[in-house]
Structure 1
Amino acid sequence: MESAPTPTPSASSSPTAKPVQDVVGKTYLAARTALNNDDYFSRVVGKDGKEWTTNIVPDDSVLAVSMKPAAGETPDTDTIYITVNMTEAEFKAASAAKAETAKVAAEQARLATRYTYTCGWSSSNQPTYKSYKEIWASGDYKNGADCHVQMDGRSSYDKPPLLPSEQKLVDLVASKGGDVSVPSSTVGNVMLLCAKVHPDYADQVSAVPERRKAEAAAALTVCPDAPHAAILQAEIMAVKVSDGAKIVGQTMEPGIWKTKPGAKDCYWSRTTGGGDIIDNNFVGFAPDGVTVTVYAGEGFESSRCGTWTKIG
């Protein structure tokens, strides 16, 4: 009895037995849909020849530039490899950039309505400003009244959660020696500096100058076009002392110091370490301000002169 012949292997036919349609020039998503409709499956190959990982889903920016098997063939496989116009790494980078752009746009939209301002002494009939630029154009900009800011309708002292750009602002203030013990309050202070500065802002002397300088510097990153930007810039650079007794070289820097214009009834004196008067003067009225040069080791005392600013 003869045995049955052993069958020889033969090439398998395409599961669909359909020629592959041409999808070159389509977006990958459209190409995949067209192939799926013919019962083919597609895989993405980057322009560098490397196959993309399966969990990466291309978007409409990914275009088919070639295919294997080629269009018109009836392959013995149901998988079609689509070479696209970018590598997987390029697609990931572009997607990350788009996501960041969308995130920034969303935050900008939030910031556009986040702050509201009121200015004035009376709580009644106070107009509400939706931005610091509205204050610049208002009558409240030049008067001596203070302004207040709310963040999403809440006081900045209520510690509302910060947005990423606000946290960066706080980090900047901290890096310059500012007070960030209540971060949301720090943001509020900076936004108020963008709105306006008090008429005597330049003459105020802080016990911790670095804090004022840090907030002024942060404000200039937010509103460099503020009408009072020059005042904020001067605050960053200024070295100031108020009336009282100073030791030059310790609580007052050596150099040339000047009061603001219009000083009246100003008395100042320079003394030796032992208290002897080196020089002094009583100024009834100085339209241009009073100027004094002091040297290390001296004592310096003034009264009714106001703020002294170092000019040299």
Structure 2
Amino acid sequence: MADQLKQTKNAINAKKHEIAKEEASRADWAEQLVQMDALLKDTGGSDEMKAMRAEMVDSIAAHDATLDKLRSELAALEAQLPQAPAPAEPTGPKFDPEKHPVLRKALEKQEPEKPVSFGIGDVCEAQWTDRSWYKAKIQSILGSVSAPKYLVRFIEYDETMTVDRSAVRPLPTKRKREPETVSNPTPAAAATSSYVISGPATTNPAAMAAKNTKNAASTDDAADRKPSRVPTKGTLKKRASAWADFQSKVSKKGVTKESMFRTGTEAGSRVGFLGSGKGMTETHKRQRYNKKADTDLADDDYPA
């Protein structure tokens, strides 16, 4: 018995999977048919396009026939499942609410809820197989007017599914929160005394304006004034004392070493170290190299 029940459930799941595939294929054909109708309306269409539209209609009809067959087979398989026991009849209340004067008025005011009808393209919330509600868009309407079935496409997951009226509901409306009113606190009464005179300080606007003008003028003069380059008296005095100290030290110490630039008394003597002298004081000029002059000089040094 348990194995047969398991096989029946597996067959039901497989049949539901086939129905879902057929519904997805039919939804694709229906979407293509809508696009074809819009194209024919804009361009007028050709014979080939009209033939393609006829094929689309035939394909949708074939899918509808297959879906009817699969749904009947699914209903037969579900009928083989053991039926749940009927719930016990609820016991009646201790008192009849219709006889109570207050409850009777409340019952009379309640109106039956009207079923919500949706159209193609409406955005709503549909129930997925996990019993959770997700945002969806209605692709097509199947079934009858009294018991419609909606083919919906879930927007966030790009999945299609055929659901009943009970599995579709409108989007919840978010109520805007009303801004909170801030009450202004009442100022506390200041303690008054007959011996203390309290009041705001008074100022003279004309005096303040004149003071601001004077400050602005002094600031502009200070900005335009150039800094002086003449050193201060303290700096000059410091320099003079430093020079006097230097002169006193030099006069006491004296010069004992001979200068390296001393000129010799002999003929042909040189000044200082080798290479120094008058040539070191000449300023070299930047000029182009004269190869001819060097050649002539070489010829003079080494005659043929």
* TM-score normalised to structure 2 length: 0.19
Q: Which has more radius of gyration?
A: 2
- Per chain length, whose mean CA-contact separation is higher, i.e. which structure has more relative contact order (CA < 8 Å, sep 6+)? 1
Query: Larger % of strand: which?
Result: 1
- Flag the structure with higher helix content: 2
TM-score, L = length of structure 1? 0.19
